[in-house]
Amino acid sequence: MSLSEVKENREALVSEVKGDTRFMSRITSIGLTPGCRIRVVKNDKNRPMLVYSRDTMIALNRKECKGITVEEVTA
Amino acid sequence: MSTGATIALLGQPNSGKSTLFNALTGLRQHVGNWPGKTVEKKEGSFSYGGKEYRVADLPGSYSLSANSDEEVITRDFIASGEADVVCILADSSQLQRSLFMLADYAGINVPCFLLLNMADVAEDQGKKIDAKAIEEKLGIPVVPFSATDIKSYDSFYKTLEKALSKNSKINVSDLATQYESIKGYQDICELIPENAIEGYSPMWLAVKVLEKDEVVIAKLKNTLDAYTFSRIEEAAVNTSGAVATGGCKFRWIDELLGETASAKDNTVKLSGLDRIYINKFWGKAAVILTVLLGLIASFIPALPLMGVGEAVLALKAPVMNGLSSIGCPEFIILIIGDVIIQSFSYIFKMLGFVFGVTLVFGLLEEVGVMARISYVFDNTMGKLGLQGKSVMPFLVSFGCTMGGAAGARVIDNWGQKVLTIALAWAVPCGAAWATIPMLAAIFFGPGAVGVIVAILLTMLVHMWITAKVFGGQLVKKEDRYGMIMELPPYHKPKWGALFRYVLGRTKETFVRVTKVILLVCGIFWLLSYSPSGNGGILYSIGVAIEPVTKFFGLPWQLFLSYIASAVGKEGAVGVISALYSGGSYGTAFTQAMSGGADTSNLSSLLLANVTKPEALAFIFAMTFNMPCVVALAATFQETHSAKWTARIVIYYTVVSLILAFIAYHIGMLIW
Ligand SMILES: Nc1nc2c(ncn2[C@@H]2O[C@H](COP(=O)(O)OP(=O)(O)OP(=O)(O)O)[C@@H](O)[C@H]2O)c(=O)[nH]1
Ligand SMILES: [Mg+2]
């Protein structure tokens, strides 16, 4: 599923990241790589998403999130 | 003193490079708790142990890719051999992520050492980091550090000397093993000879080829023979790019941190502040309220300097009297009194405001509120082709457009920066807000509220249209990247450093502004000076072009004050009152700039001479005119473009006259 479908306070594993070179390099260097575990902190319409991963709170534009596929972790 | 080494400070955004740089050199780079403040390389020096070291503060970036010019400049600066040693900073409170820069650096042949900065923050969070273990695995000196703690600098100097004497380089063998799992890596690596590009190892170059780094690929094409290069290209086809190499880098980091990596625990607690700012219902309101309170609060630290401004003004009469009693020529007395003393009074009052605003907003930045503001406004700003960060300059512009223009410095994309400044001009500044309600109340009584609302609505439409007008040229579609930004944890403010920074900024502003204001006020005064006290070039011009200005609803007196409002909005009302009372308006202009004008009988004067539609036209023309000469200077300074500065000035002049025209004709319909 796409990252933007994950509900607030759920955790997920990143399975795939797609996009142009610039996007890939930005998203990788801020720590979102395949296999990495993230927690969705905020998922409000018309706001960037807020995810927490590798000790870092990251704000992600919703459009950019489209390229990130995840698998939800069932707690 | 002998020359020591040149040190480059490298690290992800917000890792504390500029804090360290400022403490070492005594210079004042922009510091604050959100990513991406430093946008240009800055050099300075310090001496230690009888040696003079040079140090370069580099713009923060998340990696050393070729995605922005800054990143390319950064890595070339390092690899070119200009730096003898690289100090890599990582944020201990977010260690895993911020070590990515170290992983991306590994393979560049310049000696380095690692500062685990913000050790105090990590400690507060209960994170324990075993620096010794990391040092052993990495093969370079590693120290826990706090850039904000002056007492800990001894360990910085010691580590620096150690890295230099040992010529320490990162042990990359484990990292190379990681990379070997990537398809194509080994082939490419073997095809690249040592020293293919000075300063970079074959491993580093091979990884960049896999990441489709255009700059590296172009350089390899130039240096390698065509056959080798084509084989590299072949090997790179259908490889998985930055995702695969990034995965390797993070796996290497995980191994490096071993037990110390605390990221297993993914629970987060939003702090109380964040629960308010990030809330989807009241987040925006809370942010706006914070900024408004901030603007109001900034008057408190501003008061002392404003008092100095008043005191300077109080000197004027005695000085002028004194000069005339010793027989000084009238002309000189007027220059000293009306131009110099008046200008300084005005400058001090404005500095008071600059000081207050920089202090309050600096505090908001240091604590970490600024990052939340960008987050909350990212979507709205995106519609204008801007980034969330642009909202800050807009808000600051309600106080002072110059502050807003200077605040736009933090926007890393030049086009978006220019567009932000262009839009910030449409926000009426504090001086305009002092004038609008007063004039509106004289003419429209309680209707003044309606005028203020109309001004605010016009401002929004103006910004929207201006974004469309300039946006196409300034911000290309493909440059409109959405936000990918960390929200840093809140920090306790460091008052000492903050005050030093704010005082420094105020001093710089003082020097710059003084020149501009003395010059412009001098010229304006000369143009309106005439020995007889009536006439002057401005008067002749004003009367001559009145048929044209009437078209916009502005009689010549109002048109001249409109011109004066381009110099400084403070002047507008004073000029009006002087012109209608028939006094010497050359003097009135400079007096008005420092708030010294006599406006006591203004309302009866105006009501007798100006019609309501004309007043409305003037309010709009004055409000949306060029903010002031100081804002103009700041705009040029930040955009580095005379062409764009001129365009913005012309655009605003034209638009303000059009708005005056519209307001005038609507007014004619009503009254
Ligand atoms: N508590 C604490 N705060 C620190 C420390 N070092 C830096 N800071 C704060 O962290 C924030 C970021 O510091 P900067 O020096 O602006 O970071 P930078 O690396 O230059 O950031 P960019 O220029 O944006 O790349 C500021 O608010 C500093 O006051 C530290 O050791 N401890
Ligand atoms: Mg910096």
CATH classification of the domain holding A20: 2.30.30.90
With a 6 Å cutoff on the Cβ, whether B60 touches ligand 1 is yes
Q: What mean pLDDT is reported for chain A?
A: 89
Contact between A49 and A43 (Cβ < 8 Å): yes
With a 6 Å cutoff on the Cβ, whether B91 touches ligand 1 is no
| Shared-domain flag, residues B80 and B224 | no
Ligand nearest the Cα atom of residue B365: 1
Which residues does B664 contact at the CB level (< 8 Å), separation at least 6? B552, B553, B613, B614, B616, B617
pLDDT in tens, B474-515: 988 766 777 888 899 888 888 888 888 888 888 887 887 787
Which residues does B340 contact at the CB level (< 8 Å), separation at least 6? B518
Type and span of the H or E element at A38: strand A37-42
> Given an 8 Å threshold on Cβ–Cβ distance, is A55 in contact with B212?
no
3-class state of residue B621 by DSSP:
helix
A14 has a chain B CB within 8 A of its CB: no
User: Mean pLDDT over residues A5-21, rounded?
Assistant: 90
- Output the pLDDT for position B298: 80
The distance of B653 to chain A (nearest Cα, Å) reads 35
With a 6 Å cutoff on the Cβ, whether B494 touches ligand 1 is yes
- Output the pLDDT for position B263: 45
What residue numbers bound the domain in which A56 lies?
A: 3-73
For B552, how many CA atoms within 13 A lie in the half-sphere containing its CB? 24
The distance of B643 to chain A (nearest Cα, Å) reads 30
3-class state of residue B412 by DSSP:
coil
> Given an 8 Å threshold on Cβ–Cβ distance, is A62 in contact with B482?
yes
Ligand 1 geometric centre to CA of B142 (Å): 19
- Select from B62, B263, B488 the Cβ nearest to the Cβ of A30: B62
> Given an 8 Å threshold on Cβ–Cβ distance, is B243 in contact with A33?
yes
- Angle between helical axes of B537-544 and B556-567 (0-180°, round to 10): 120
| Shared-domain flag, residues B234 and B351 | no
Backbone angles phi, psi at B500, to 5 degrees: -60, -45
Contact between B559 and B549 (Cβ < 8 Å): yes
| Shared-domain flag, residues B606 and B631 | yes
Contact between B380 and B389 (Cβ < 8 Å): no
Q: Could you tell me the end-to-end alpha-carbon distance of chain A, in angstroms, rounded to an integer?
A: 17
> Given an 8 Å threshold on Cβ–Cβ distance, is B378 in contact with A59?
yes
Partners of B112 in the beta sheet? B86
- Of B121, B149, B170, at which residue does a domain stop? B170
The rounded distance, in Å, linking the Cα atoms of B43 and B18 is 11
Residue B271 counted as domain residue:
no
Report the Cα B248 to chain-centroid distance in Å: 36
With a 6 Å cutoff on the Cβ, whether B15 touches ligand 1 is yes
Where residue B535 falls among pLDDT bands split at 50, 70, 90?
low
> Given an 8 Å threshold on Cβ–Cβ distance, is A28 in contact with B246?
yes
Q: Which residue has the tokens 């609008």?
A: B436
User: Mean pLDDT over residues B128-132, rounded?
Assistant: 91
With a 6 Å cutoff on the Cβ, whether B71 touches ligand 1 is no
Testing ligand 1's pocket by substitution, the residue of B10, B21, B31, B500 carrying the most ligand atoms inside 8 A of its CB is B31
The rounded distance, in Å, linking the Cα atoms of B548 and B39 is 46
Alpha helices in B368-475 (DSSP H): 369-383, 391-397, 401-407, 414-424, 430-444, 448-474
pLDDT in tens, B309-364: 889 888 888 998 899 899 888 888 888 887 788 778 878 877 887 788 788 888 98
| Shared-domain flag, residues B341 and B469 | yes
Ligand 2 geometric centre to CA of B118 (Å): 14
Contact between B123 and B76 (Cβ < 8 Å): no
B370 has a chain A CB within 8 A of its CB: no
B69 has a chain A CB within 8 A of its CB: no
Backbone angles phi, psi at B248, to 5 degrees: -60, -45
Chain B residues near residue A30 by CB distance under 8 angstroms: 62, 97, 484, 486
Backbone angles phi, psi at B45, to 5 degrees: -145, 160
Q: Which residue has the tokens 């604590």?
A: B367
With a 6 Å cutoff on the Cβ, whether B178 touches ligand 1 is no
Where residue B31 falls among pLDDT bands split at 50, 70, 90?
confident
The rounded distance, in Å, linking the Cα atoms of B513 and B656 is 25
Backbone angles phi, psi at B533, to 5 degrees: 90, -10
| Shared-domain flag, residues B457 and B581 | no
| Shared-domain flag, residues B208 and B330 | no
The distance of B246 to chain A (nearest Cα, Å) reads 6
- Select from A25, A46, A56 the Cβ nearest to the Cβ of B65: A25
Residue B592 counted as domain residue:
yes
3-class state of residue B43 by DSSP:
strand
- Output the pLDDT for position B303: 87
Where residue B365 falls among pLDDT bands split at 50, 70, 90?
confident
Tell me: pLDDT of B391 over 90.
no
Report the Cα B403 to chain-centroid distance in Å: 8
Tell me: pLDDT of B565 over 60.
yes
- Output the pLDDT for position B266: 59
Where residue B267 falls among pLDDT bands split at 50, 70, 90?
low
With a 6 Å cutoff on the Cβ, whether B12 touches ligand 1 is no
Domain count, chain B: 4
The rounded distance, in Å, linking the Cα atoms of B163 and B36 is 28
CA dihedral sign, ordered B623, B628, B631, B637: positive
Report the Cα B131 to chain-centroid distance in Å: 35
Lowest mean pLDDT among B89-93, B177-181, B246-250, B385-389: B385-389
Residue B163 Ramachandran class (φ > 0 left, ψ -120 to 50 alpha, else beta): alpha
Size of interface A-B (CB pairs under 8 A): 133
> Given an 8 Å threshold on Cβ–Cβ distance, is B96 in contact with A11?
no
| Shared-domain flag, residues B535 and B625 | yes
Alpha helices in B147-282 (DSSP H): 153-166, 173-180, 185-191, 202-210, 214-223, 226-236, 241-257, 272-277
pLDDT in tens, B597-641: 555 567 777 888 899 999 999 999 999 999 988 899 889 988 999
Using a pLDDT cut of 70, give the percent of chain B over it: 93
Q: What mean pLDDT is reported for chain B?
A: 87
- Angle between helical axes of B153-166 and B17-25 (0-180°, round to 10): 100
Chain A residues near residue B248 by CB distance under 8 angstroms: none
- Output the pLDDT for position B587: 59
Where residue B126 falls among pLDDT bands split at 50, 70, 90?
confident
Chain A residues near residue B93 by CB distance under 8 angstroms: 55
> Given an 8 Å threshold on Cβ–Cβ distance, is B97 in contact with A31?
yes
> Given an 8 Å threshold on Cβ–Cβ distance, is B278 in contact with A55?
no
Are β-strands A11-17 and A68-73 bridged in parallel, bridged antiparallel, or unpaired?
Answer: antiparallel
> Given an 8 Å threshold on Cβ–Cβ distance, is B382 in contact with A39?
no
The rounded distance, in Å, linking the Cα atoms of A68 and A64 is 8
User: Mean pLDDT over residues B248-252, rounded?
Assistant: 94
Q: How far is CA B314 from CA B342, B377, B471, in A?
A: 10, 45, 47
Contact between B179 and B185 (Cβ < 8 Å): yes
Domain count, chain A: 1
- Output the pLDDT for position B533: 60
Contact between B403 and B357 (Cβ < 8 Å): yes
- Output the pLDDT for position B582: 57
Type and span of the H or E element at A16: strand A11-17
CATH number at residue B116: 3.40.50.300
Lowest mean pLDDT among A70-74, B116-120, B524-528, B559-563: B524-528
- Output the pLDDT for position B356: 85
pTM (2 decimals)? Answer: 0.82
Residue B425 counted as domain residue:
yes
Ligand 2 geometric centre to CA of B13 (Å): 7
CA dihedral sign, ordered B614, B615, B618, B620: negative
- Output the pLDDT for position B594: 54
With a 6 Å cutoff on the Cβ, whether B389 touches ligand 1 is no
| Shared-domain flag, residues B537 and B594 | yes
Residue B268 counted as domain residue:
no
What residue numbers bound the domain in which B44 lies?
A: 2-170
DSSP E strands in B13-64: the ranges are 42-48, 51-57
Shortest-distance Cα residue to atom 7 of ligand 1:
B16
- Output the pLDDT for position B259: 63
Where residue B105 falls among pLDDT bands split at 50, 70, 90?
very high
Contact between B25 and B46 (Cβ < 8 Å): yes
Q: What is the DSSP letter of A2?
A: B
Residue B83 counted as domain residue:
yes
Identify which of B118, B109, B94 has the alpha carbon closest to the alpha carbon of residue B140: B109
For B68, how many CA atoms within 13 A lie in the half-sphere containing its CB? 18
Tell me: pLDDT of B284 over 70.
yes
The rounded distance, in Å, linking the Cα atoms of B551 and B634 is 32
Most confident region among A17-26, B9-18, B382-391, B424-433 by mean pLDDT: B9-18
pLDDT in tens, B403-422: 889 888 778 788 999 999 99
Using a pLDDT cut of 90, give the percent of chain B over it: 43
Shortest-distance Cα residue to atom 24 of ligand 1:
B36
- Output the pLDDT for position A69: 93
Tell me: pLDDT of B540 over 80.
yes
B241 has a chain A CB within 8 A of its CB: yes
Burial status of residue B58 (CB atoms within 10 A of its CB: 0-12, 13-18, 19 or more): buried
Ligand 1 geometric centre to CA of B60 (Å): 11
Ligand 2 geometric centre to CA of B267 (Å): 29
The distance of A56 to chain B (nearest Cα, Å) reads 6
